[in-house]
């Protein structure tokens, strides 16, 4: 997999030899994005199955399933893929691998279809805001929130994307911006606090974000900072869409208050990594020494603030 922690300053492929390594890659955000970690979790479960069918095969499967499930708590795709491959693994290691490969292909196809359905929302010359990274790095391919932008751009439509930096890990500034640059789409990296002012100026006409879990009532968990964008968009009467494959919807989760929100290390807030003048990657503290920090990784946007959901089956205004 691509080591997303090094982008955009270095491009490196990580090889995970067993399910323990794949699990660590999910935990440390070497791979991230709901679809991508869902696929990775499925492959991790398949790796555990392929480790050798012994007398304690089912016991090892359960241990591996529990380990992978503990990697990250919020993204629905992780648990959906994990359970599907686990059930296949109970039949045979070959069935587990076949299922993991099929789920990855389904994720890629879902991203392509999301792009085809959502591209019609992109008008010539408009400004589009997105938050965090939900491009092809965040799925197996194509992306969710960025997929409509890619599809519209490839048809010759011209528009400008405003990519929130998405502190503390800066997925927007590092990953989304890098993807948009590779695609040749006009864009700006903006501070997380700038979006409402740009809305006020009339420079943003549409907001599309991805999702990590969507509850049965439509409440949506996404990267921290999404909620405030939705509130601002409602105030300025700007459409706010969630783009996600159906695997991100959790029918067993009644509402947003039931979505587990991952709390990550405060070190992510205190430290940033980037190249120095000589191109050497260095980590430096950017906050007041001695001060504590809170680092919720996600927030929940109530369904009342969401204009619609872009899925592989089309766009629905209410879920």
| List of residues 6+ apart from 246 with CB closer than 8 A | 110, 311, 312, 313
Is there a contact between 318 and 218 (Cβ–Cβ < 8 Å)? yes
Catalytic-labelled residue, pool 212, 219, 250, 299: 212
Q: Which residues contact 295 (CB under 8 A, 6 or more apart)?
A: 168, 263, 264, 265, 266, 268, 269
Instruction: Mention every residue, 6+ apart, whose C-beta is less than 8 A from residue 59.
Output: none
Q: How far is the C-alpha of 270 from the C-alpha of 167, rounded, in Å? A: 11
Tell me how far apart the alpha carbons of residues 270 and 265 are, in angstroms, rounded to a whole number: 9
Using the structure block, give the residue that is written with the tokens 């398949």.
46
Q: Tokens 């590779």, residue?
A: 182
For the chain, first and last CA: distance in Å? 33
Of 82, 80, 84, 18, nearest to 50 (Cα)? 18
- Could you confirm whether 164 is annotated as catalytic? no
CA distance 9 to 157: 29
In Å, how far are 118, 231, 263, 272, 308 from 304, measured between CA atoms? Answer: 20, 10, 25, 35, 10
Enzyme catalytic residues: 212
């Amino acid at each position: 997999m691509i080591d997303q922690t090094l982008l955009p300053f270095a491009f490196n492929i990580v090889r995970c030899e067993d399910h323990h390594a794949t699990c660590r890659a999910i935990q440390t955000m070497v791979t991230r994005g709901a679809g991508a970690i869902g696929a990775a979790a499925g492959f991790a479960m398949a790796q555990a199955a392929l480790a050798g069918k012994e007398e304690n095969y089912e016991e090892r499967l359960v241990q591996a399933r529990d380990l992978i499930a503990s990697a990250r708590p919020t993204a629905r795709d992780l648990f959906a893929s994990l359970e599907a491959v686990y059930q296949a693994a109970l039949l045979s290691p070959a069935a587990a691998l076949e299922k993991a490969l099929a789920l990855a292909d389904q994720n890629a196809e879902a991203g392509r279809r999301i792009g085809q359905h959502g591209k019609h929302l992109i008008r010539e010359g408009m400004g589009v805001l997105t938050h965090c990274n939900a491009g092809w790095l965040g799925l197996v391919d194509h992306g969710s929130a960025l997929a409509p932008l890619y599809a519209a751009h490839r048809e010759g439509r011209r528009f400008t994307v405003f990519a929130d930096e998405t502190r503390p890990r800066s997925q927007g500034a590092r990953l989304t911006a890098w993807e948009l640059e590779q695609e040749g789409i006009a864009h700006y990296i903006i501070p997380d606090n700038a979006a409402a002012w740009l809305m006020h100026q009339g420079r943003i006409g549409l907001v599309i974000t991805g999702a990590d879990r969507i509850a049965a009532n439509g409440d949506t968990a996404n990267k921290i900072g999404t909620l405030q964008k939705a509130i601002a968009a409602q105030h300025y009467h700007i459409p706010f869409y969630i783009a996600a494959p159906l695997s991100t919807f959790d029918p067993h989760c009644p509402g947003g208050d039931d979505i587990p929100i991952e709390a990550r290390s405060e070190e992510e807030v205190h430290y940033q990594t980037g190249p120095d003048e000589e191109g050497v990657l260095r980590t430096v503290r950017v906050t007041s020494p001695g001060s504590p920090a809170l680092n919720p990784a996600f927030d929940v946007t109530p369904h009342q603030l969401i204009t619609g959901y872009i899925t592989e089956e089309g766009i629905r205004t209410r879920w």
